[in-house]
Amino acid sequence: MAGAGATLAGVDADGLRRRCLARTGAVEEYPFGPETAVFKVHGKIFAISRLGGEPLEVSLKCEPELAEQLRASYPAVRPGYHLNKRHWNTVTLDGSVPDGAVEDMLEDSYDLIVAKLPRKVRRELRWDGEES
């Protein structure tokens, strides 16, 4: 593994937390109890993880067609646990999914959420993923 937090798929809970909180405006909350970290931007969830879980897993929002492709490509990616299975994937961070792919999934999840926020909020976040 490269430097602490530099990779995601083989990283520990602290590394996952750092990667999620590195997103502009991201906060960590525990609305479902002390075991489940929920990462939000402007009140909207983009990642959920039981950080003390073995194996470490993270649930991420995803475009439905891409979600299916990722599930077909990686056994460690499956429909979101206790979430809308069309729009969420749960990824087991056991090193079997390339780090870049996991980082892309995290970025895509964040971007899907921010893209739906009001324009004023997107500007405040200095989000540049805007396509409209």
- 26/18 Cα distance (integer angstroms): 10
What pTM, to 2 d.p., does this model score?
0.87
**% of the chain at pLDDT higher than 90:** 70
pLDDT 10s digits, 91-126: 999 989 888 899 999 999 999 999 999 999 999 998
Tell me the domains of the chain and their CATH numbers: 13-31+38-124 (3.90.1150.30)
Tokens of 94: 């056991």
Q: What does the mean pLDDT of the chain come to?
A: 88
E strand segments, the chain: 26-29, 37-41, 44-49, 57-61, 77-79, 88-92
CA distances from 6 to 2, 14, 87 (A): 6, 11, 27
CA–CA separation, 21 and 16 (whole Å): 9
